[in-house]
Amino acid sequence: MAVRPIIAVTPNYDYGIETASIKNLYNEGVIEAGGVPVVVPYSTNEEVLECIITASDGLLITGGPDVDAKYFGEYNTPVTGSILPGRDILEIFLIKKAMEQRKPVFGICRGIQILNVALGGTLYQDIKTQLPDKALGEHSQKAPRWYPYHDIYIQPDSKVYMSFGNRSCVRVNTFHHQAVKDIAPGFFVTSCAQDGIIESIEHRDHEFVVGVQWHPEDMWIKDRSFLNLFKMFIESSCK
């Protein structure tokens, strides 16, 4: 029997009830793609976190609330949503360590945002208020989470492009008000929405360091093509 790679998966946290949790669809996506998900404890202990990333074969950064703007040199605005201080700390640390150890990293929704910030990029804190003159589409859909809501336009010769069978336009779901602004060094943009909002980024110098703004974990049961990025992530984590 083939050995499945161990994937560290970051959790969400509720300070009101002091409880870490994770939407199980992330775990199911990793399992279906051939990996073993292990949820990271909600801790800022660097010794513990370094042990976890060293023992893991890959890192999955999940969706969640807003990133504290201090990490990209700005003040939080009145439209900034909830912030989880410990989560920012643990994910930035894990991302940097994973990059140092050349472990595959897959960031989803908040995951693309914190991946970009951790490595030197910036975000729009709120696309509607920071891009008032832009004809924006809706990026917080009022439809079931599995429902494909808007198109993205994909760059050839990218992992996202390959994951969709070399299709240059795909319809995805959308649940965000923050978005990647200036991309971090080493990354390139691999897809955008019709309004120009960045939908995915990839690192040029690592085999698999990919961030996507949509939620493939919510879509793959209805459309198996959305499992392909999970599969590519897991395959890279086996090496």
Report the catalytic residues.
109, 215, 217
Q: Which of 42, 24, 155 is nearest to 90 (CA)?
A: 42
Angle of CA points 85, 27, 216, to nearest 5°:
85
- DSSP-assigned letters across all residues of 44-79: --HHHHHHHHHH-SEEEE---SBPPGGGGT-PPPTT
Q: What is the dihedral of CA 214, 216, 219, 224, to 10 degrees?
A: 140
Tokens representing residue 18 in the block: 């002091």
Task: Label residues 57-82 b or e (16+ Cβ within 10 Å = b).
Answer: bbbbbbbbbbbbbeebeeeeeeebee
* CA atoms of 122 and 153, how far apart (whole Å): 22
Q: Taking a C-beta distance cutoff of 8 angstroms, is the pair 145, 215 a contact?
A: yes
Angle at 161 between CA 105 and CA 4, to 5 degrees: 40
The pair of structure tokens assigned to 134 is 């832009």
